[in-house]
Amino acid sequence: MIGGHGSLATEHPIKTIGSFWPYATTLYDYIHRAMPLNAPQSLTPDEVYSLVAWLLHHNSIIPADMIIDAQTLPAVKMPNRGGFVPDPRPDVPGH
């Protein structure tokens, strides 16, 4: 979940939340819904925000003393935010 920065365009891309995920808020959502795998939805919102902050800091995306909450998290810009492009091809041929 940490590292891989700058590796996406290389021969061996390492897709982590830090190198790949376009939105920081997905972290809250994913951890809140699915983690820890052996006890999903057992964490309080504060605990989830703390884990999100820890992961973002260790991916060098936020400083160690930044408070992550419902106001600040949506403003965090992920490094690969600009790395996704829409696919203009129609879902169904001929439409």
Which positions lie near ligand HEM, rule CB under 6 A? 1, 16-17, 27, 30-31, 35-38, 51
C-alpha to C-alpha distance for 78 and 84, rounded to whole angstroms: 12
Q: Which of 66, 64, 34 is nearest to 48 (CA)?
A: 34
Nearer to ligand HEM (CB atom), residue 26 or residue 70: 26
Alpha helix positions (H), the chain: 25-34, 45-58
Nearer to ligand HEM (CB atom), residue 80 or residue 89: 80
CB of residue 4 vs ligand HEM: minimum separation in angstroms?
A: 10
CB of residue 75 vs ligand HEM: minimum separation in angstroms?
A: 19
Q: What's 86's DSSP letter?
A: -
CB of residue 85 vs ligand HEM: minimum separation in angstroms?
A: 20
